[in-house]
Structure 1
Amino acid sequence: MYDGIVQELIDELGRLPGVGPKSAQRIAFHILQTPSFDVSRLAKLLAEVRERVKFCERCGNVSEAELCAICRDPRRDQTLICVVEDAKDVSAIERTREFRGLYHVLGGAINPMAGVGPNELRIRELMTRLADGTVQEIILATNPNLEGEATAAYLSRLMGDMEIAVTRLASGLPVGGDLEYADEVTLGRAFAGRRSA
Structure 2
Amino acid sequence: MYEGVVQDLIDELGRLPGVGPKSAQRIAFHLLQADPADVRRFAEVLLEVKDKVKFCSICFNVAEDDQCRICRDPRRDPSVLCVVEEYKDVVAIERTREFRGRYHVLGGAISPIDGIGPEQLHIRELLTRLGDGAVTEVILATDPNLEGEATATYLTRMLGPLGLRVTRLASGLPVGGDLEYADEVTLGRAFVGRQTAT
- TM-score class, shorter: over 0.9
Match of 1:146 in 2: 146
Q: 1:31 touches 1:37 (CA, 8 Å); kept in 2?
A: no
Q: 1:172 touches 1:190 (CA, 8 Å); kept in 2?
A: yes
Match of 1:183 in 2: 183
TM-fit CA distance, 1:34 = 2.8
Q: Deviations over 1:8-40 (max 9, x none)?
A: 111110000010111111111111123376111
Say if 2:71 is the partner of 1:44. no
**Counterparts of residues 116-155 of structure 1 (less than 5 Å):** 116-155=116-155
Unpaired runs of at least 5, structure 1: none
Say if 2:168 is the partner of 1:171. no
Match of 1:14 in 2: 14
Q: Deviations over 1:147-186 (max 9, x none)?
A: 1101100000011111210000011111111111111111
TM-score, normalised on structure 2? 0.97
Unpaired runs of at least 5, structure 2: none
Which amino acid in the other structure matches residue 135 of structure 1?
V
TM-fit CA distance, 1:54 = 0.5
SS where residue 82 of structure 1 aligns? strand
Number of positions where the alignment pairs a residue of Structure 1 with one of Structure 2: 197
Match of 1:62 in 2: 62
Match of 2:112 in 1: 112
Q: Deviations over 1:73-116 (max 9, x none)?
A: 00000000000001111011001111000000001111111111
SS where residue 139 of structure 1 aligns? strand
SS where residue 76 of structure 1 aligns? coil
Q: 1:137 touches 1:164 (CA, 8 Å); kept in 2?
A: yes
Match of 2:84 in 1: 84
Which amino acid in the other structure matches residue 170 of structure 1?
A
SS where residue 79 of structure 2 aligns? strand
SS where residue 161 of structure 2 aligns? coil
After TM superposition, which residue ranges in structure 1, 4 or more long, deviate above 4 angstroms?
none
TM-score, normalised on structure 1? 0.97
Taking the aligned partners of 1:110 and 1:96, their CA distance within structure 2 comes to 26
In percent, how many aligned pairs have the same letter? 71
Which amino acid in the other structure matches residue 115 of structure 1?
G
Which amino acid in the other structure matches residue 39 of structure 2?
V
Q: 1:109 touches 1:148 (CA, 8 Å); kept in 2?
A: yes
Alignment CA distance shift 1:36-1:196 (3 Å): farther
